[in-house]
Amino acid sequence: MSARNLALYGKATQSDLVQNPWSANGHAINAIDGNRDSNYEHGSCTATKLQDDPWWRLDLLDKYVVTSITITNRKDCCPERLDGAEIHIGNSLLNNGNNQCDGGGRSLTFKWNKGIPGRYITVVIPGSNRLLTLCEVEVYGYPAPDEFLKMFNSLFLQVCCDLFHSSWFFQIL
Ligand SMILES: [Ca+2]
């Protein structure tokens, strides 16, 4: 099947933006506008205010088999904010380290051979006084057959900064 970015057809929300002084540029939909521009001031990235456990969530509006996800981090400043972010992919809504890492603005992709059934993609940074920024989230997959939904549970990933290599990676939680 041809790859289609399902995120473009979904709905995005986030925990809060109101008290972010640059809120005009940080709406949740900016991570699914089809644009990886990683300069926050260009208006294609999201940002929550500083808060406990900030989150961003995508509702694909139907159940899909998700075969890959690509996230793009901010480049013009502070890419380290994303370190430790957890990504949950699944069919239910669940409740939702601070080091230096170079490599802002890069796009990070995780692929699954068999795919994960999912309607909701939630990104959360656990911890107090954190700020979540995403410049783009792309989700690829195809409509889920009924039998597939019984075979697998949801999946948790974590975005990590490898300080030794100054690089980013996903790990499965
Ligand atoms: Ca964007």
- What residues does each domain of the chain span? 6-172
In the chain, % of residues over pLDDT 70: 87
Provide the token pair at 116: 């994960």
Q: Which fold, 6-172?
A: Jelly Rolls (2.60.120)
The pLDDT, as a whole number, for residue 99 is: 42
- Percent helix, percent strand, percent coil in the chain, to nearest 5: 15, 40, 45
Distance 108 CA to ligand 1 centre (A): 14
pTM of the model: 0.82
* Residue 72 parent element (H or E): strand 55-72
Greater confidence, 28 or 119? 28
C-alpha–C-alpha distance, residues 7 and 134, integer Å: 13
Distance 140 CA to ligand 1 centre (A): 16
Greater confidence, 163 or 119? 119
Nearest to 160 by CA among 56, 96, 73: 73
Distance 30 CA to ligand 1 centre (A): 5
Distance 24 CA to ligand 1 centre (A): 14
Model confidence pLDDT, tens digit, residues 41-75: 999 999 999 999 999 999 999 989 899 999 999 99
